[in-house]
């Protein structure tokens, strides 16, 4: 007999957990369906102070504030001209946060588990079909799962969206080459975020509880094989999933819209849009009307369009190397679907 839920969420990252936490608070039966990650996760990340908003809404803030993440009060950058230093001491949203992503994600999962969410692990996903108003799936050839609504929160892999035939638009091929540098207890601890443009991309460094994260962002063909062997490559490109309005599923987080890390919005939008998606799903399950879901899809499309315009303008500030392939590609933006 199939396990039955109101909503099945594929994935267990911030977007999935935001949707689950919100729906559980609304009294919905929720399953988070995830499979073991094939690669090492992104170890560090910097959030703007705006991250407090969705964390407070989801009642995650206290746990986050006490988890030992590093508050950041200064950002040093060399982009398009002379080096600049920005302070967040008087920013209305408070300081930046340089986080240990392993700890951040694990804490969110623990908080959602305490709210009685069902977590299901699998290695192979069988066919997905919608019959009589319910999605039906088989995990590992034996565990049957049934849900009224489906959420793709599988990150940049967009596993469910691709399975269901969604159109995905890719806007660039950016990758990050990352390394974690342990903190040397004998040296002065630098707590600033540092960012600098180079002829072949840009790099940044930020403190995390265990030391520093250093990352170089460039295009795959511009990174030498030696550099790629020394540093861990992770996808960092901008892409968008086009969701049809008449199907009982949505994408959230990176599965919906993945962002260039330069903007610093990825996790904030994963949480905020996860809350919006959960409210829309709950409205649909109560009323049978898709208007709230249509609003969510339009919101995501408009938000991503505005993001692309802002990103293009920010890259255009840097004009020291107009003939370098990395910058030439971003000064001559072409959008195409794949």
pLDDT of res. 190? 61
What pLDDT is recorded for position 264?
86
pLDDT along the chain (338 residues), means of 10: 90 97 97 81 80 96 93 90 83 86 93 94 93 93 93 96 95 91 64 90 87 90 77 90 88 97 92 98 95 96 96 94 94 52
State residue 338's pLDDT score. Answer: 40
pLDDT at 209: 77
pLDDT at 337: 39
Q: What is the 3-state secondary structure (H, E, C) of the chain?
A: CCEEEEEEEECCCHHHHHHHHHHHHCCCCEEEEECCCCCCCCCEEEECHHHHHHHHHCCCHHHHHCCCCEEECEEEEECCCCCEEEECCCCCCCCEEEEEHHHHHHHHHHHHHCCCCEEEECCCEEEEEEECCEEEEEECCCEEEEEEEEEECCHHHCHHHHHCCCEEEECCCCEEEEEEEECCCCCCCCCCEEEEEECCEEEEEEEECCEEEEEEEECHHHCCHHHHHHCEEEECCCEEEECCCCCCEEECHHHCEECCHHHCCHHHHHHHHHHHHHHHHHHHHHHCCCHHHHHHHHHHHHHHHHHHHHHHHHHHHCCCCCCCHHHHHHHCCCCEEC
User: Domains in the chain and their CATH numbers?
Assistant: 3-337 (3.50.50.60)
Residue-level pLDDT at 207: 84
Query: Which pLDDT score, from 0 to 100, does residue 100 have?
Result: 87
The pLDDT score that the predictor gives to residue 41 is 57
């Amino acid at each position: 007999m199939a396990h039955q839920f109101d909503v099945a969420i594929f994935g267990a990252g911030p977007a999935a957990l935001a949707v689950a936490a919100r729906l559980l608070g609304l009294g919905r039966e929720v399953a988070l369906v995830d499979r073991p990650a094939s690669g090492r996760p992104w170890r560090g990340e910097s959030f703007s102070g705006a991250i407090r908003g969705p964390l407070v809404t989801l009642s995650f803030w206290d746990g986050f504030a006490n988890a030992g993440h590093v508050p950041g009060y200064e950002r040093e950058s060399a982009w398009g001209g002379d080096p600049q230093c920005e302070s967040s001491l008087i920013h209305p949203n408070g300081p930046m946060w340089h986080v240990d992503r392993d700890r951040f994600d694990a804490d969110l999962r623990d908080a959602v588990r305490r709210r009685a969410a069902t977590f299901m692990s699998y290695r192979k996903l069988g066919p997905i079909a919608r019959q009589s108003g319910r999605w039906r799936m088989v995990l590992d050839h034996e565990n049957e799962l049934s849900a009224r609504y489906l959420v793709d929160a599988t990150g940049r892999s967009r596993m469910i969206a691709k399975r269901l035939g969604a159109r995905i638009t890719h806007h660039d091929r950016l990758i990050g080459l990352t390394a974690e540098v342990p903190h040397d207890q004998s040296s002065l601890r630098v707590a600033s975020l540092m960012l600098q443009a180079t002829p072949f991309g840009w790099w940044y460094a930020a403190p995390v509880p265990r030391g520093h994260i250093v990352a170089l962002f460039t295009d795959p063909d511009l990174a030498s094989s030696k550099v790629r062997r020394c540093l861990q490559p992770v996808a960092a490109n901008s892409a968008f999933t086009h969701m049809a309005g008449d199907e009982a599923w949505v994408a959230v987080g990176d599965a919906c819209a993945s962002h260039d890390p330069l903007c610093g919005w990825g996790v904030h939008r994963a949480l905020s849009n996860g809350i919006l998606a959960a409210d829309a799903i709950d409205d649909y399950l109560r009323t049978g009307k898709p208007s709230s879901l249509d609003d969510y899809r339009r919101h995501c499309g408009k938000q991503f369009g505005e993001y692309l315009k802002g990103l293009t303008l920010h890259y255009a500030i840097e004009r020291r190397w107009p003939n370098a392939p990395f910058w030439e590609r971003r000064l001559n933006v072409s959008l195409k679907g794949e």
